[in-house]
A and B are shown apart, each in its own frame.
Chain A
Amino acid sequence: MSNAVSALQGVSHAGYIDVEEMGLRGMVTLRGDLTSANVKIAVKTVFGVSVPDVTKCALQGETGAAWMSPDELLLLCPHERAEELVASLSEALAGEHALVVNVSDARAVFQLRGAAVREVIAKLAPVDMSPNAFLLGHFRRSRIAQTPAAFFLRDETTIELICFRSVAGYMFDVLKRASSRGSEVNAL
């Protein structure tokens, strides 16, 4: 059995905010009818959170659910629990027209920490990151420079960002550059 490793194996950078690749994270894609009572109950039972509203996420520590599209959720969990939760959720959704897949190793996750995390994202994404527009509980799919990504606030000074594993190197480079000391904008 091979050893699972994350894309950049926890690489980090200290600029005017800290950027760190989060290592292994569990991620499960659920596609199905998010308005179905069965789906809502199954997600609540297996992941312990309610199906989030449009463009929102519901988090409980490392576990949670994020709205990806009208028929897709991204479910978060500890990496080592992903397979087991996929099995439980598939079982809970038996008979429902739905798809549950472990995508943990297809993604990379970064954590951004510091007072200026909103500004660093605002430099790279066409998103209003001001404190009255982007709130705790929001989950935004967009682009970071030239690659798709999704991000949310863990708390007021921490943003977690998810991207495809294949572009993790590029993502780390642009985050590093955008947070380099001397490039502060102080616009937000």
Chain B
Amino acid sequence: MLILQCPYCGINADETELAAGGQAHIKRETVGSDDNAFEDYLFRRVNPKGVHFERWRHANGCGKWFHAARCTMTLEVFGTYKAQTFEPPQNIKDAISAKRPGWKWGDFS
């Protein structure tokens, strides 16, 4: 069972209180974007074995969307953080580096 701490209410929510929202940190394409960029935005998602960044919602709880950094292979959770950011905060990156030196995910490392 996956347990994530909601960064808004601080509750350690088990998976049944949460709704999964897929890959995090996706740049939204809009008017003026070319077709390839739109296709990537709408349909293409990474599916890494290892470090991954995801969106989750504390659906049966405070209702807020947040981000989680975890390992898809071991289910280890590196940390969670609020959604009002374009990239993972430094303390999350540090926590991942401590466990998975040299990790890379998209533009983040």
Q: Please give the residue numbers on chain A whose beta carbons come within 8 Å of chain B beta carbons, in ascending order.
A: 54-55, 67-70, 72, 126, 140-143, 148
Contacts and interface: CB of A to CB of B under 8 A. Distances in A.
B17 interface: yes
Contacts of B9: 54-55, 67, 69-70
A69 B10 contact: no
A112 B64 CA distance: 29
B60 interface: yes
Contact of A54 (B10, B16, B60): B10
A54 B10 CA distance: 8
B14 interface: yes
Contacts of A141: 60-63
B95 interface: no
14 contacts: A54-B9, A67-B9, A69-B9, A69-B62, A70-B8, A70-B9, A70-B62, A126-B13, A140-B11, A141-B60, A141-B62, A142-B60, A143-B60, A148-B60
Interface of B is mostly: loop
Contacts, number: 35
Nearest to B82: A70
Interface of B: 8-11, 13-14, 16-17, 59-64
Contact of B62 (A68, A126, A143): A68
A54 B59 CA distance: 17
Nearest to B15: A126
A141 B17 CA distance: 9
Nearest to B60: A143
Contacts of A148: 59-60
A68 B11 CA distance: 13
A70 B62 CA distance: 8
Nearest to A141: B61
Contacts of B61: 141-142
A55 B12 CA distance: 12
A72 B63 CA distance: 10
Given A69-B64, A70-B8, A70-B62, 19 more contacts: A54-B9, A54-B10, A55-B10, A55-B11, A68-B63, A69-B8, A69-B9, A69-B62, A69-B63, A70-B64, A72-B63, A126-B13, A126-B14, A126-B16, A141-B61, A141-B62, A142-B60, A143-B16, A148-B59
